[in-house]
């Protein structure tokens, strides 16, 4: 089962893809320029960025860059 993470420089959110997408859109409306959405499986050491949410919309990314899963999880500790 995959985990999904939406994050930016000041914080993050962990949940299913649609909840992360909704959270990201709210953050962009509140003034955050870019929110990235990443996914990982339980055994993975890295999360792959699969989408970016900006004021112009959602951009899906094929073969997105890998980021350390521990760094992404640390941003998502405090949920709104």
pLDDT digit string (tens) for the chain, length 80 residues:
899 999 999 999 999 999 999 999 999 999 999 999 999 999 999 999 999 999 999 999 999 999 999 999 998 875 45
Three-state secondary-structure class, residue 70: helix
- Are 14 and 79 a contacting pair, CB within 8 Å? yes
From the list 80, 9, 76, 22, the residue with the least C-alpha distance to 51 is 22
pLDDT in tens, 33-53: 999 999 999 999 999 999 999
Record the pTM: 0.91
Task: Supply 56's token pair.
Answer: 């112009």
- What is the residue whose two structure tokens read 């094929």? 62
């Amino acid at each position: 089962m995959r985990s999904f993470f939406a994050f930016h420089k000041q914080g993050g959110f962990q949940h299913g893809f649609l909840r992360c997408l909704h959270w990201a859109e709210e953050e962009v409306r509140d003034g955050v320029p870019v929110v990235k959405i990443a996914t990982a499986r339980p055994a993975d050491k890295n999360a792959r960025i699969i989408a970016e949410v900006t004021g112009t919309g959602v951009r899906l990314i094929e073969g997105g860059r890998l980021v350390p899963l521990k760094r992404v999880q640390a941003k998502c500790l405090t949920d709104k």
